[in-house]
């Protein structure tokens, strides 16, 4: 697979391991977020599979890195995230985009079921479609697909694994319930 033109990647550290995001420099666009991996070798393998270019930095990439680091360190995300103008949604249908918009609207520390997201996009029978769309979410954390669970309360699938999904949900809930520990994002 040839490298994507103008693509760069940026690696970030989290309490769950190293993750990365892939971006295009000009105009700046986030192409994908890779969830934390247990080892740098696994992250490198994921980066090589996608041929995501060389390491790079950009002013918006630095802002994104600060946001992601803040998220993993318990800071409340700002209302303007995700920065929609930075996300490349061109390959998605209008219905898929509506699933991502509805998912992005789920508040920090809250969860919704696949059925609730389907109802939010006026397609109450489209639970499987919601699940399929979120399984392909190129922007986990920015579009918090980990906040969507099954109607029976089980966690369901997640690109970073069920354990990571459970940890993210529990961590957000704990931070929200201990209001004194929440820090606003600067």
Nearest C-alpha neighbor of 81 from the set 131, 116, 30, 43 = 30
Do the beta carbons of residue 55 and residue 11 sit within 8 Å? Answer: yes
Tracing tokens 């490198």 back to the chain, one arrives at: 44
Known catalytic membership, residue 127: no
- Measured between alpha carbons, how far is 35 from 21 in angstroms, rounded to an integer? 8
Catalytic pick among 145, 164, 168, 169: 145
Residues paired with 149 in a beta bridge: 113
How many residues does the structure list for the chain?
186
Q: Tell me if 140 sits within 8 A of 159, measured CB to CB.
A: yes
> Taking a C-beta distance cutoff of 8 angstroms, is the pair 56, 63 a contact?
no
Classify the C-alpha dihedral 90-147-116-78 as positive or negative.
Answer: negative
Q: State the catalytic residues.
A: 145
């Amino acid at each position: 697979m040839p490298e994507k033109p103008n693509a760069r990647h940026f690696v970030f550290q989290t309490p769950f391991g190293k993750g990365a995001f892939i971006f295009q420099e000009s105009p700046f666009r986030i192409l994908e977020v890779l969830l934390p991996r247990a080892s740098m070798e696994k992250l490198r393998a994921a980066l090589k599979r996608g041929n995501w270019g060389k390491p790079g930095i950009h002013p918006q990439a630095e802002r994104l890195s600060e946001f992601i680091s803040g998220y993993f360190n318990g800071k409340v995300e700002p209302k303007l995230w995700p920065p929609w103008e930075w996300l490349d949604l061109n390959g998605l249908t209008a219905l898929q985009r509506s699933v991502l918009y509805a998912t992005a609207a789920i508040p920090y520390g809250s969860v919704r079921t696949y059925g609730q997201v389907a109802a939010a996009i006026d397609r109450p029978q489209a639970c499987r479609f919601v699940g399929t769309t979120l399984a392909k979410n190129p922007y986990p954390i920015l579009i918090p697909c980990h906040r969507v669970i099954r109607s029976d309360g089980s966690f369901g699938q997640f690109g970073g694994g069920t354990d990571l999904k459970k940890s993210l949900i529990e961590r957000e809930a704990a931070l929200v319930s201990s209001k004194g520990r929440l820090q606003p994002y600067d």
